[in-house]
Amino acid sequence: MKHLKFLFFLVFSALIISSCNNKKETQKKDVISFDSEKDLVHEKTVKKVFFNLPSPIEITQTILATKSTYNPELLNPVSNLSNYSSSSDLALNFGVYGADLCYCRVYDQLQSAIAYLAVIRKLTTQLQIPEDAGAETINRIEENIGNRDSIFQIISETYAEADGYLKENDRELTAALILIGGWVEGMHFAVNLQSNQNNQALINSIAEQKYSLDNLISLIEEYQDNAAIAEIYPFFEKLVLVYSNVTITRDKSVIVTDQDTKITSIDSETNIQITKEQLIEIKNLIGEIRTKIVS
Amino acid sequence: MKTANTFILLLGFLIGINSIATAQCKTFTKNDCKPRLDPYIYNGQLNSAVLNEGDIAELMLTFYSNQDYRIVVCAAPELGKIVFRLVDEKGQELFTSKDHDFTEIWDFRTKSTQQLVVEVSVPESNSGELIKSGCVSILVGFLDKQ
């Protein structure tokens, strides 16, 4: 009986600790405000399912707006792979090389894409992501390398499989590092392409990364104990400071359905204010963060 | 010692059940939900979780300007008719599946970059049986511009 009580105590304690953790997570992630009536329900039950950041595929989509020429100097050379040994460096650069692969895809640089693919395959092995969660889809990329339409699809599946595997196996830090690396590389493309041309769409894209940065900094704060993150964290803090003065205002959203195309649009006027100085500061900070990651 | 062993077994059992549920959720997402994104390109973000009846879950997403998107919110049939809403930064409801026969898919274009919240509500059942739970997945796809 005494043992049974002890067992109940242990299980009960575990449940209490677990529910406290869940509560903390729910409160921390409770990010939107509704009207007062719904707020009551919201506070009681809402859960934020997952943390979400754009994959490199989405970030490199913004490059399409630039119509610039392919610049291989923007990529992290595949030869740098041998410089990375810690799991944090490998994960960060998995993200970097993933974005590089997408960049190659955007410009139809198939030979380069194959080289970056080989790097990602090695990193998948080094990060101990099993075959069925990564390499199998990588084989499919090699088979479909000439088919540009299917490559994005396969890259996205590779990311989803690796992301899912890492989250399932309590390796969220690795998943987070991959996302951080991918975001930094995507920004590196954007700020460098922008400095060579005055493309308003690209400037807007850089300014709008303010949203992703908000999500990213929450993620980075969670893992400040990690040495690799601790190294780049001060630069992210400065980046947040610069972005805090970038203003994005929006009118009320309107849903419009085109009667001919039947396409529904979320329409709202956006006013973005970002100065040349802010763009330069963002470029410099991204450069410093990227150097820390790739060198 | 016997108690400790029982506890470890119990804990292992609970962790095991959780792992099985998560793995089944991933399989459900892959086989039942992802095909519904076609012809849109999956953005590579795996957002799935096991929810109970009465739960409300949310996910904040960034949608970029001048892109065509598809959102698929799919749930295990035992959860019944789930409702998903899209709400903008100001709390304005842009879409609710309740007004569209509980559809699991919504296609739209964004004129400007938007931070939107996808909120999923699992209905409560009044059957008085055991609490129902099942997998819910939120997937996003976009059309390739090229």
Check if A160 contacts B (Cβ < 8 Å): yes
At residue B51, what is the residue type?
Answer: L
- Assigned token pair, A236: 């992210």
**Residue ranges making up the domain that contains A198:** 56-294
Quick check: B18 pLDDT over 90?
no
Residue A97 burial (10 A CB sphere; 0-12, 13-18, 19+): buried
**With an 8 Å Cβ cutoff, are B7 and A204 in contact?**
no
Q: B4 to chain A: nearest residue by CA?
A: A7
SS3 content of chain B, % helix, strand, coil (to 5): 30, 40, 30
Query: Two tokens at B8?
Result: 């470890």
Is B108 or A153 the better-scoring residue by pLDDT?
B108
Predicted confidence (pLDDT) per residue in B97-106, tens digit:
999 999 999 9
Section B108-115 average pLDDT:
86
Q: For A236-256, write each residue's pLDDT tens digit.
A: 999 999 999 999 988 888 888
With a CB cutoff of 8 Å and minimum separation 6, the contacts of A162 are A94, A124, A129, A133, A134, A175, A178
Per-window interface: A 256-285 vs B, CB < 8 A: 263-270
Decide: A46 and A26 in contact? Cβ < 8 Å.
yes
Tell me if A186 is assigned to some domain. yes
Tokens coding A199: 């493309």
Question: B37: helix, coil or strand?
Answer: helix
Q: Give me the phi and psi of A49, to 5 degrees please.
A: -60, -55
Task: Give the ipTM of the model, two decimals please.
Answer: 0.71
Q: Which residue shows structure tokens 């649009």?
A: A265
| Cβ neighbours of B42 in A, within 8 Å | 153, 156-157, 160
- Which one of A163, A212, A269 has the shortest CB-CB distance to B44? A163
Distance (Å, rounded) from C-alpha B55 to C-alpha A195? Answer: 47
CA distances from A212 to A34, A45, A195, B60 (A): 22, 26, 21, 10
- The Cα A271–Cα A250 span in angstroms is 6
Q: Quick check: is A228 in a domain? A: yes
B60 contacts B27 by C-beta, under 8 angstroms: no
Which residues numbered 16-55 in A keep a CB inside 8 Å of some CB on B? 31-35, 41-42, 45-50, 52-55
Contact yes or no for A87/A123 (Cβ under 8 A): no
The answer as to whether A140 is a domain residue is yes
Q: Looking at the domain assignment, is residue A147 inside a domain?
A: yes
Min Cα separation A140/chain B (Å): 16
Structural domains of chain B, ranges and CATH numbers in brackets: 2-142 (2.60.120.380)
Residues of B in contact with A168 (CB under 8 A): 19, 22-23, 26
SS (H, E, C) chain A: CHHHHHHHHHHHHHHHHHHHHHHHHHHHHCCCCCCHHHHHHHHHHEEECCCCCCCHHHHHHHHHHCCCCCCHHHCCCHHHHHHCCCHHHHHHHHHHHHHHHHHHHHCCCHHHHHHHHHHHHHHHHHCCCCHHHCHHHHHHHHHCCCCHHHHHHHHHHHHHHHHHHHHHCCCHHHHHHHHHHHHHHHHHHHHHHHHCCCCHHHHHHHHHHHHHHHHHHHHHHHCCCCHHHHHHHHHHHHHHHHHHCCEEEECCCEEEECCCCCCEEEECCEEEECCHHHHHHHHHHHHHHHHHHHC
Q: What's the domain count of chain A?
A: 1
The Cα diameter of chain B in Å comes to 65
Per-residue pLDDT of chain A (295 residues; tens, 9 = 90+): 444 444 433 333 333 333 333 333 333 333 222 223 333 333 334 444 444 555 666 666 666 656 677 889 999 999 999 999 999 999 999 999 988 988 888 888 888 888 888 898 889 889 888 765 555 556 666 676 666 656 666 677 766 777 777 767 777 788 888 888 988 998 999 899 887 777 888 888 889 888 888 878 887 888 888 999 999 999 999 999 999 999 998 888 888 888 777 788 998 888 899 999 999 999 999 999 999 999 9
A60 within some domain = yes
Gap between the Cα atoms of B135 and B20, Å rounded: 12
A66, part of any domain: yes
- Give the pLDDT of residue B4: 59
